Amino acid sequence: MNAALIGAGSWGTSLAIVLNSNKHRVRCYTIEQTTIYDVQTKGENSRYLPGVKIPKEIEFTGDLKYAVEDADIIINAVPSQITRSVVPQVINALNSTGQIWVTVSKGIENKTYMQVTDVIHEAGNIPHDKIAALSGPSHAEEVSRKVPTAIVSASTSMETAKAVQAAFMTPYLRVYTSIDVPGVELGGALKNIIALAAGICDGAGFGDNTKAALMTRGLAEMNRLGTAMGAHSDTFAGLSGMGDLIVTCMSRHSRNRHVGEEIGKGRSLQEILDEMVMVAEGVKTTQSAYELAKREKIEMPITEQIYKTLFEGKSPHQAMLDLMTRESKHEDWG
């Protein structure tokens, strides 16, 4: 296949390496000329994926038309909040139609509350059965070094889900298929909010008991909102739900956990974001999920407290106290 990667951050670069290992032609589009120069002169993307050698067959380019020329599959690897503006640019650069689109972004668009597959569908008039979401516990730093990893390809069309599975499947990257697009996408997006909470837990000096409670009850919140939005409950117990939640809450590679940890230490959100190279999708997703839960009248107490901590200046200790002193409940999954 001819593959076009839109976005050359750590995950886009890592997936380019995966596709190349399966003998696909790969072109990566980026507006960052320093990244292109870096790859061409050093053979690595030192800004986003330092120390990982990039095969010479992979092309990095700032020419969008060249990047998508004759593409059979287009991978959207830009942040979820800018996907709507990028998709029409890609459409205008294409010289044919019928490509499979894959999103690897994990977020919920602000204001519209749309999942990224729906944004691609609306912004580019792409049929849903030609769009897939690729998600699961998969830090780019590990996938690029061939650490065994399992993820999920989800589409309303099983044919499309299987085509994406075949494109990315390697001995070190196992790809499962699903038709539960809302579940796979919302699992990948909502777990970032709980990862922020896990990071705050670490930064504020709470313990392992606290983090375990946040992760478990956070998973229940993810399921509650997800099923209300049409997802299957079982999906949240799988790779794109619990699996991604575990790795994002626990890993040193997690951007969202890092942001939370720094918040827990008393730093301001803006100060933390200003010094980061990569995007922590959970920050914007917290806004979307908080507003969506209010609109749908869905109880999401952890998400609510993370929102108030990030955007209203509430102290992590007060947020935790308010969570712990809520009225007594019966434990449930939904």
Domain ranges of the chain: 2-179, 182-324
Laid out side by side, the sheet with 73-76 consists of 59-61, 25-29, 2-6, 73-76, 100-103, 131-135, 149-154, 173-178
Across the strands, what pairs with 53?
A: 44
pLDDT (0 to 100) of residue 278:
80
Across the strands, what pairs with 6?
A: 29, 76
Around Cβ 62, how many Cβ atoms within 10 Å? 14
Around Cβ 299, how many Cβ atoms within 10 Å? 13
pTM: 0.95
List the alpha helices (DSSP H) in the chain. 10-21, 33-42, 64-68, 83-93, 116-124, 140-143, 158-168, 181-203, 208-228, 244-250, 255-264, 269-274, 281-296, 301-311, 316-324
Q: How many CA atoms lie within 13 A of 11 on its CB side?
A: 22
d(CA 77, CA 8): 7
pLDDT (0 to 100) of residue 174:
98
Tell me which residue has tokens 């993307």: 45
- The closest alpha carbon to 63, from 102, 30, 15, belongs to 30
pLDDT (0 to 100) of residue 277:
82
- Which parts of the chain have pLDDT scores under 50? none
pLDDT (0 to 100) of residue 19:
98
Q: What is the pLDDT of residues 13-33, one digit of tens each?
A: 999 999 999 999 999 999 999
Annotated catalytic sites, by residue?
191
pLDDT (0 to 100) of residue 104:
98
| Angle, alpha carbons 82-283-50 (nearest 5°) | 75
- The closest alpha carbon to 310, from 285, 276, 275, belongs to 285
Matching fold, domains 2-179 and 182-324: no
CATH class entry, domain 182-324: mainly alpha
Residue type, 274: D
pLDDT (0 to 100) of residue 42:
96
Around Cβ 44, how many Cβ atoms within 10 Å? 16
May I ask the CATH architecture of the domain 2-179? Answer: 3-Layer(aba) Sandwich (3.40)
d(CA 51, CA 123): 36
